[in-house]
Amino acid sequence: MRKWIRYSKTSILGLLGVMLLSSCDRSKYIVLDPKGPVAHEEMRLIIISTILCAVVIIPVLAIFVYIVVRYRNRPGNNAPYEPEWDDSKVLEVIWWGIPIVIVAILGFYTARTAIDVSKPPVKDVTPVVVQVTSLDWKWLFTYPGQKVATVNYAEIPAGVPIQFVLTADAPMNSFWVPQLAGQEYTMPGMAMGMWLQANKTGNYYGSGANFTGTGFAHMKFRVRAVSQADFNKWVARLRKNSPALTRDGYEDLVRPNTVKELSFSSYPEHLFEDIVNKNGGTYFHHQHHMGEDVPMQKTHTHP
């Protein structure tokens, strides 16, 4: 028994040591390396959830070790024998009260974070809208304000709130840029919205987080955050040097295959709206005043 207890303690300490040492270099774990206000809010929620879980797990493990040691079968064990014991009001209050308090706290912070990240991170800056369409097995980004399009990469200005509007012209997927925001589903016939913002310039890893067939491993993209001046130059360069995306070109793009990064100087008018509508949805677009949800996309699907 003593050998088993020593083995358990060694295993637990070893596991904790590996976790602590592995988390020293946060750059290896981009989920824990937020680079924008939305990601920072979600990181705070992760920390709160971890602390609340630890409030449960650590005492349970401690009680487990205590019971194994205190009540193990050994000579001279003086643990009381109480065959008529049936309940304890104090213990019932503890094991019902603590979970209720933990769930209430976690629910409060989760709801508050969900509300906060559904709004523009900064309200005194005009946001940029990027429409995202997940395909087999690639990502199409269209910029309604700039009239350009890209495949498998997105260029955004740093320090500017970005509203991604998401749909799918293929099986549903999940849009994920770990350092800038959490996941949001892309679904046929729906236009889902999410806000994010990059605090600094740089390249950020993006990926599909939902299995969509044999090419799933290629559903990766990069988000490149640049200065506002460089973003304007990039738009001008695409308009001048890149080919246009036509309807026929889009039909070729929809076919299940993998492609490299592509850039287009323009794309068919109302392409994103037509993608949503053809998959059973109805797409609406209207502009709000700056500082509110600008712009908002509303959708509904037919039963």
**pLDDT tens digits for 60-92?**
999 899 888 877 777 776 667 777 777 888 889
Q: What is the mean pLDDT of residues 23-51?
A: 83
- Give the span between the Cα atoms of 197 and 122, in whole angstroms: 9
Amino acid at 180: L
Backbone phi, psi, residue 193, to 5°:
-110, 145
Q: Which of 11-15, 158-162, 193-197 has the lowest mean pLDDT?
A: 11-15
Q: What is the mean pLDDT of residues 46-62?
A: 92
Q: Which tokens in the block code for residue 74?
A: 């050994």
- Give the span between the Cα atoms of 263 and 151, in whole angstroms: 6
- What is the predicted pLDDT for the residue at 72? 77
Query: 246: pLDDT confidence band, cut at 50, 70 and 90?
Result: very high
In this structure, the number of other CB atoms found within 10 A of the CB of residue 277 comes to 14
- Give the span between the Cα atoms of 200 and 213, in whole angstroms: 34
Say what angle helices 2-22 and 37-70 make with each other, to 10 degrees: 170
Encode 140-177: b = buried (16+ Cβ within 10 Å), e = exposed. bbbbbebebbbbbbbbbbbbbbbbbbbbbbbbebbbbb
Task: Inform me whether the pLDDT recorded for 205 exceeds 70.
Answer: yes
State the average pLDDT for the chain: 84
Place of tokens 């799918």: 168
- Give the span between the Cα atoms of 144 and 142, in whole angstroms: 6
- The three state secondary structure string of the chain is CHHHHHHHHHHHHHHHHHHHHHCCCHHHCHHHCCCCHHHHHHHHHHHHHHHHHHHHHHHHHHHHHHHHHHCCCCCCCCCCCCCCCCCCHHHHHHHHHHHHHHHHHHHHHHHHHHHHHCCCCCCCCCCEEEEEEEECCEEEEEECCCCEEEECEEEEECCCCEEEEEEECCCCEEEECCCCCCCEEECCCCCEEEEECCCCCEEEEEEECCCCCCCHHHCEEEEEEECHHHHHHHHHHHHHHCCCCCHHHHHHHHCCCCCCCEEECCCCCCHHHHHHHHCCEEEEEECCCECECCCEEEEEECC
- Alpha-carbon distances of 34 from 29, 39, 46, 119, 159, rounded to whole Å: 10, 5, 12, 18, 14
Going by C-alpha positions, the residue among 53, 111, 130 that lies closest to residue 295 is 130
Q: Which of 43-57, 205-219, 282-296 has the lowest mean pLDDT?
A: 282-296
- Between 16 and 267, whose confidence is greater? 267
- Give the span between the Cα atoms of 204 and 157, in whole angstroms: 13
